[in-house]
Amino acid sequence: MKKFINILSAAMLIVFLNSCASAGLIPSEKVANLLQSGEFTFMAEKANPTNYDVVNVMNSLPTSSSSRMLDLDYGYTIQLKKSEFTVELPYFGRMYNPSYDTSKNSYRFTSKDFSLSEHPGKKGSTVYTIITKDQPNIRRIIMEVFKNGKSYVSIDSNDRATISYDGYIMENVAPKK
């Protein structure tokens, strides 16, 4: 009986670990098709501010930690199309020129005048460098997309500290009419 319980426990552990490992991954063929089309959406899951003063302030708040605060809800995206580039991401970090208008303190803009360069990265990833010409405060956005759909985005700006985001790519969603 004891042997049966050990075998059953081991089987349950293997099933549990296998289900956790495959969560959130999309087939590499679909990722390749999305990258080849040049139209996809980056869905942010976690923000990573580079300024540790911000992380220390978040950790000093009672009953919370910075790791929980920086996990993002569904809906923070970068949408890349052939003629348009839309960014809707929160910002956590040091701003050198803050605005009293709170809607301007996050990254929310649409660019129709941008340049996009693509080159292969390490371990089979694809790296995109996006430079917007109609957004004066954004220097560049670097997006690295891996074969499994996971992605890393870094935004370098003139008026605030650099921030990065972890997430995944998916197909663009058609707008509701």
The per-residue DSSP string of 26-56 comes to --HHHHHHHHHHT-EEEEEEEEEES-HHHHH
Q: Which two tokens stand for residue 121?
A: 């990265």
- Is residue 167 within 8 Å of 149, Cβ to Cβ? no
- Residue the block writes with tokens 């709170």: 102
pLDDT tens readout for residues 99-126: 788 777 888 989 898 888 888 888 888 8
Integer CA distances (angstroms), 158 to 139, 161, 167, in order: 6, 8, 24
pLDDT tens readout for residues 85-106: 899 998 888 888 877 887 778 8
Query: Given this model, what pLDDT does residue 21 score?
Result: 47
Residue of 8, 171, 13, 14 lying closest to 77 (CA atoms): 171
Q: Which two tokens stand for residue 48?
A: 């990573």
For 28-170, CATH gives: 2.40.128
- Is residue 114 within 8 Å of 130, Cβ to Cβ? yes
Query: Given this model, what pLDDT does residue 47 score?
Result: 87
Entry pTM = 0.77
- The one-letter amino acid code at 104 reads K
pLDDT tens readout for residues 12-37: 666 665 555 444 567 778 888 888 88
pLDDT tens readout for residues 134-166: 888 888 999 999 988 899 999 998 888 899 999
